[in-house]
Structure 1
Amino acid sequence: MNSSPAPLPAAPSTPGAPADSARRSRRKDARPGELLDAALDLFVEKGFAATRVEEVAARAGVSKGTLFLYFPSKLELFKAVVRHNIAGRFDEWREEMRDFDGSSCELLRHCFTVWWQRIGATKASGITKLILSEAGNFPELAQFYRQEVIAVGQELIRNILQRGMASGEFRAIDLDYAIYLVIAPMIFLMTWRHSIGMCVPDALGLTPEEFIAVQVDNLLLGLCTRPVPAPTSYCTP
């Protein structure tokens, strides 16, 4: 799965203004990324409701007015953070899954491991905990996340399971429910990391990589129509 984030919003233009210096142009082009990084930090640290756009602008080193040139509201800023860090990557991930040469068992292991490396172990995983905590108070935010992250992610998982069924590796199972067998360990790790794990880092007493490996083994033993080959290493994709 390619780890490139989604494209940044275009820098606002100033009609009729003289040409800026190369340094100023580079600074202007960098601002959307700086704002998104600052917003991700604050949304994960404080939540959606408690984060103020003034704080985001200050952390990015710009004025609130500059922030609003790129993002007209806090909700639109949050949407841009989600698209840049998660939703905007789905097309590339879908293409990589489509080109995967190994078995469906190997693909499932690979996707779990890569998901942890590129999302779960990063600050972006805190977005999931934020949604779980605040969705009830912000239905538009919840609907956006369901449409652009949850629904698309579920479809990718469905495709992996369908691939395994079509090849005869996986037994027939109700996909509407089976996708949650894959999602549940991911949600557990993300919510733990951004709740108890923040205060007591070693409280779980397990490494995320080993946890994922055991979960995948358990999942495959339930899905597969024949014994599952042991991986060479739990921590190697």
Structure 2
Amino acid sequence: MTGAPAPKFRRRAEARPDEVLDAALAVFTEKGFAGARMEDIAARAGLSKGAVYLYFPSKQALFQALIRRAVQPLTEGALTGIAEHAEDPAEALAALLRAVAAALSRPGALAVPKLILREAPAVPEVAAFYRQAVMDRVMPVVIGVVRRGVAEGRFRPVDPELTLRTIMGPVILHVLLDEVFGIRPGPEKGLDALIENHLSILLAGLDPGGGTP
């Protein structure tokens, strides 16, 4: 019948990849990439090792799927925000940063980035995959926004690639201070407040009427 709920076994099978990924995140967090075993992840998910391999052929594929699931909302939100304000470079940058704040503010959103920061030095392919999934997609677009703003006279003549680092630097530092070092601002000074404060400084600095670079 149309609209009838899916059979219970089908719903369960469709949910299993996410259950495996949840279990993998817990095991990777506890034991690291090198120390985690597929049988540990299977046990945490309540499945056999063979069942896990039906969904993910290797531990690396599992880690990549975990990264993909975590970063997709951030990447798509950032690109959508920029596209929706394509005619105004300043608004495009504002939309980008607000989308990043929204994505990183979701419960558990920082678990995977923290794991990547910890694992990347020992497992270079982790950093490479994260770069392909996020940085190689978003960075050229942001650089293009800055370049267009300069060409149209809306921004002062800044270096687009260096400005990208200026745009994202405060967000990365905020997350590092908060999540890695435990240096947390007051309750009214979270990521949303940081973004608005950063935008007020950033856009004033890019204003071509604000003086020489």
Query: Secondary structure at 2:47's aligned position in 1?
Result: coil
CA-based RMSD: 2.7
Instruction: Find 1:173's aligned residue among 147, 158, 162.
Output: 158
Instruction: Find 1:192's aligned residue among 148, 166, 177.
Output: 177
Q: Which has the higher contact order (CA 8 A, sep 6+)?
A: 1
Which residue of structure 2 lines up, in the alignment, with residue 215 of structure 1? 198
Q: 1:97–1:107: 8 Å Cα contact kept in structure 2?
A: yes
Task: Note the C-alpha offset of 1:145.
Answer: 1.8
Which residue of structure 2 lines up, in the alignment, with residue 84 of structure 1? 69
Total equivalences in the alignment: 203
* Residue 97 (structure 2) pairs with residue 116 (structure 1): no
Q: TM-score, normalised by structure 2?
A: 0.79
Moved more, 188-197 or 45-54: 45-54
Structure 1: distance between partners of 2:26 and 2:109: 9
Where does structure 2 lack aligned partners over 5 or more consecutive residues? 1-5
Where does structure 1 lack aligned partners over 5 or more consecutive residues? 1-20, 228-237
Structure 1: distance between partners of 2:25 and 2:31: 10
Change (3 A) 1:35 1:193: farther
Which residue of structure 1 lines up, in the alignment, with residue 49 of structure 2? 64
Task: Note the C-alpha offset of 1:87.
Answer: 4.4
Q: 1:40–1:124: 8 Å Cα contact kept in structure 2?
A: no
Q: Which has the higher helix share?
A: 2
Task: Note the C-alpha offset of 1:27.
Answer: 0.8
Task: Note the C-alpha offset of 1:60.
Answer: 2.7
Task: Note the C-alpha offset of 1:40.
Answer: 3.3
Task: Note the C-alpha offset of 1:71.
Answer: 0.8
Change (3 A) 1:48 1:58: same
Change (3 A) 1:89 1:218: closer
Query: Secondary structure at 2:13's aligned position in 1?
Result: helix
Query: Secondary structure at 2:110's aligned position in 1?
Result: helix
Q: 1:109–1:216: 8 Å Cα contact kept in structure 2?
A: yes
Which residue of structure 1 lines up, in the alignment, with residue 185 of structure 2? 204
